[in-house]
Structure formats: structure tokens, C-alpha cells
Amino acid sequence: MPQRCVETTYPMSGVFFECASRYVATMDHASINRDYWNATAQDWVALGERLWAGDPEWGVWAASEAELQMLPDDMTGQSAVELGCGTGYVSAWMARRGAVVTAIDIAQQQLCTARRLATQHAVDITFIEGNAEATGLTDASFDFAISEYGAAIWCDPKIWLAEAWRILKPGGRLVFLGSHPLALLTFPPSGDMAERQLYRPYRGLGRLDWTEVEVDPGGVEFNLTHADWHKLFSQLGFQVTGFEEIYAKDQTQGDRFPIPNAWAMDFPTEQVWKLQKPA
């Protein structure tokens, strides 16, 4: 049986923190997403257990590590952080490659699963309950940062990327995987599966609120146009070292969330950005 945790309430709105040499207020998306992931944490236990026990596979379509090369082959002695770790399987993959890993997530119930699995698999990871937009971690303390979904879609990119920059060492790398902006344009207002038509404008893409949709209401998600991603990276100082668009390989249904396979063989469902902080 998964261990039972007592949920703790944290006041997220109106709390100020230092980010990129300025002060910004955390938005209500943090508390909305925290509550959503606490409420649905049990739905992700089985997937987490499977991924903890296996080799790295990424995203909705279980893309291989050989295909995407998300992680360094040898992370011996590297300090690594996962931003929005969920059940913690990515952190486990890094620890098994030799990294000293810190993992942060806003949802206490997700961390219950992560800690249980770390104990079960005898993997040493430091788990922190907190917001990836304001980690409280030391400046320039990590060689490598990663987010598979997590902060990559559930945090404001202008805030969490600035925070990632702050905690990375000079020369440090950041890799993140999340929804492709094109996919988000094709979800109907009901929240049903992607269709072959556009339902929202690409220009000005930013915050997407799924809390009131009819089908599978969720949290508050973020994405940008590709031009705006590049502008943000440049403003922060990140260099882009790689980019991938991920399609379904065949008609096999993914197990993360429902999306038509035939659609995803023609259009990218996900994207991967690989960035580096200059030395």
C-alpha cells in the first residue's frame, strides 16, 4: 500500500521571491496546479512504478534515450536537479548514472510516491516539496537540470527558466520536454482530444487554463510560440544546443494522456529543448 500523507496547505499567491535580479509574485497557477496534482496523484502511481523499474523512456510515446539523448551517459559526480519531479523516475535514472540528485515538486502526494519508490529501489535522492519557480536552492549549484513535463509546462516559463539559470553553474545544461505548441492549438474548447483544425490563435500563446473544460478538467499550463521561446532564451542568456519534435511512431496508444495516434503520426505532440548556460 502507498504510504498515506497528510496534505499541507501553503499560501502561494502574493508570496514574493528573488528571480533574475528582480522580484515577481507567484501566480495563482501554482496553488491550482498543486491542488490538481495532489488530487490526482494516485492516478500516476502505476506509471511511476513501471518507469522506476525500467530504462529511460520519454514522453507520451515512450521515445527512447538513444533517440532523444536527454541525459549524459555518465553523470558521475555531477550535481543534477529535476524541476517538477512528480513520482521521481527521471531523478532515479540520473542517480543510477552517478549523479547527486535533488528533485523538487509542488505536490506533496506525488512526493509520497517518489519517496516510497526511492526507498523501494534503494536510490539516494534529495526530495524537496516546493515550487520550481522559486526553489530556494543555492546560486550556481547544479551541473545539469531537467524537466519532463513538470516545470516545463506547469510553470510560467519567464519565471522557472530564470530560476533554472540562477541555480545552474556556468557551463551547466538544461533539458526540458513538454507539449508542442501546435498540439495545444488543436484541442477543442471542451478539452476533448486534438482534432485536425485550429481552435485558438498561435500568436500570443501563453497561459492555458484547463480547470473549467468539460472533458478531464486539469490545471493551468504554459507554452510559447517558437519565436517567443527563442526570444526568452536569448534574454536570459541561454544558448540553444538542440531541439526535437516528437511524433507517434505507430498506432500504439500512449499511456500518459489520450491523444489520437493517427493525428500524432502527422503532427508533433511534444518538443524537447536543450540549453546551456555559457561558461
Average pLDDT of 15-35?
A: 56
Residues 6+ apart with CB under 8 A from 199: 185, 186, 187, 188, 189
Which residue would you say has higher pLDDT here, 202 or 27?
Answer: 202
CA distance 164 to 267: 29
Residue 262 domain boundaries: 30-276
Which segment of 7-16, 112-121, 142-151 scores lowest on mean pLDDT? 7-16
How many CB atoms are located within 10 Å of the residue 149 CB? 20
Statement: residue 27 has pLDDT above 70: no
Residue 8 placed within a domain: no
79 within domain boundaries: yes
User: What's the domain count of the chain?
Assistant: 1
pLDDT band at 2 (very low <50, low <70, confident <90, very high): very low
The residue with greater pLDDT, 207 or 253, is 207
Cell of 97: 548514472
Q: What is the pLDDT of residue 12?
A: 29
d(CA 146, CA 150): 9
Would you say residue 15 has pLDDT above 60?
Answer: no
Domain assignment of residue 221, yes or no: yes
Q: Which CATH number do you get for residue 198?
A: 3.40.50.150
In a domain, 9, yes or no: no
Taking CA atoms, 222 is separated from 73, 81, 88, 96, 152, in Å, by 30, 21, 22, 31, 8
Q: Answer whether residue 121 is part of any domain.
A: yes
> Residue 257 has what pLDDT?
57
The model's pTM: 0.89
For β-strands 125-129 and 100-105, DSSP reports them as: parallel
Query: Could you report the per-residue pLDDT of 126-180, keeping only the tens digit for each?
Result: 999 999 999 999 999 999 999 999 999 999 999 999 999 999 999 999 999 999 9
Confidence class of residue 254 from pLDDT cuts 50, 70 and 90?
A: low
pLDDT of residue 14 exceeding 80: no
Better pLDDT: 6 or 250: 250
In a domain? residue 159: yes
- Binned at pLDDT 50, 70 and 90, residue 23 comes out as very low
- Whether 149 is covered by a domain: the verdict is yes
State pLDDT tens for residues 57-111: 999 999 999 999 999 999 999 999 999 999 999 999 999 999 999 999 999 999 9
- The predicted-structure confidence for 188-230, as pLDDT tens digits, reads as follows 999 988 899 999 999 999 999 999 999 989 999 999 999 999 9
CA–CA separation, 246 and 62 (whole Å): 10
How much is the average pLDDT of 11-38?
A: 56
- Other CB atoms within a 10 A radius of the CB of residue 244 amount to 18
pLDDT (0 to 100) of residue 252: 63
Asked whether residue 24 is assigned to any structural domain, the reply reads no
pLDDT category, 253, cuts 50, 70, 90?
low
